[in-house]
């Protein structure tokens, strides 16, 4: 049956930024498809909630609480997968983000910090994960990027630049790691996560975001997680170096900050 291609029975996945939002939804979706998971975020209580949901599916979740800007914490996730499960098959680099800022407030230091959090952390985890993945034949890496990596708007210099870098990084390492490891990305549109809470709870901002999205709504985290399952599972076995755009048809930023001319 075609649905069997979406199964991940016996596989092990790492998901960063998995306490809430897209990361939590992805962890639960992977578990529902048969995978055990290593989940990490800053807040242990959030991870415990997700771990309980995973356990209810009959799968195991190992939690690692820590600051994922710390590369030692990131690297430890691969070691946790090896120690607890003896294998690793899927990596979901979900942690990231950067607050949009006007041009003159986007300092070089802020840009470097954004690059570190969005791109360097993913590379550090991939470097630690790939040798383990190769031990069992290969696997899949999914990098969670953003529609802002390909569209332009005022205030997005840092966020858009680092997400564009993550997208192209995906395309580049897909060449390095093929054929045994498939690397793809998801360019997510506006999604109802805690990072957007200030927007989704402000009626005029929420209305703007919906109006500027062709499908006139904000995505649910589960809709992004469905893309993760596709790319991680045998259903996506012939995709490598591609960007799956789950963005509601967005071709302009869904938030206009109204920044004036200089």
Annotation says 169 is catalytic = no
Say which residues have a Cβ less than 8 Å from residue 127's Cβ, sequence separation at least 6.
Answer: 75
* Long-range residue pairs from 236-242, CB within 8 A, at least 24 positions apart, any chain: 236/140, 236/182, 236/184, 237/5, 237/182, 239/182, 239/184, 240/174, 240/178, 240/179, 240/182, 240/183, 240/184, 241/170, 241/171, 241/174, 241/175, 241/178, 241/183, 241/184, 242/174, 242/184, 242/185
Residue 151 contacts by C-beta under 8 Å, 6 or more apart in sequence?
160, 250, 251, 252, 253
Selecting among 110, 156, 159, 230, the annotated active-site residue is: 159
Catalytic positions, written as ranges: 159
């Amino acid at each position: 049956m075609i649905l069997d291609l979406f199964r991940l029975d016996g596989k092990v996945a790492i998901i960063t930024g998995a306490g809430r939002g897209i990361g939590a939804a992805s962890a639960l979706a992977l578990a529902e498809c048969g995978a055990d998971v290593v989940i990490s975020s800053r807040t242990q209580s959030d991870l415990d909630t997700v771990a309980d949901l995973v356990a209810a599916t009959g799968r195991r979740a190992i939690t690692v609480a820590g600051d994922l800007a710390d590369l030692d914490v990131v690297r430890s996730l691969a070691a946790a997968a090896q120690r607890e499960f003896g294998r690793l098959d899927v990596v979901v680099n979900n942690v990231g983000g950067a607050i949009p800022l006007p041009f003159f407030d986007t300092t070089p230091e802020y840009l470097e910090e954004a690059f570190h959090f969005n791109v360097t952390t993913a590379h550090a985890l991939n470097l630690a994960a790939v040798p383990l993945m190769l031990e069992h034949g290969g696997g899949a890496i999914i990098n969670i990027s953003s529609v802002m990596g390909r569209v332009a708007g005022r205030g997005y210099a840092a966020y858009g630049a680092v997400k564009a870098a993550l997208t192209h990084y995906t395309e580049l390492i897909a060449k390095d790691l093929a054929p045994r490891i498939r690397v793809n990305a998801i360019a997510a549109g506006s999604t109802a996560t805690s990072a957007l809470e200030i927007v989704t709870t402000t009626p005029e901002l929420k209305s703007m975001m919906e109006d500027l999205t062709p499908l006139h709504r904000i995505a649910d985290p589960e809709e992004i997680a469905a893309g993760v399952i596709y790319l991680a599972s045998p259903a996506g076995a012939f995709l490598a170096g591609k960007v799956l755009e789950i963005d509601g048809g967005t071709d302009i930023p869904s938030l206009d900050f109204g920044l004036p001319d200089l």
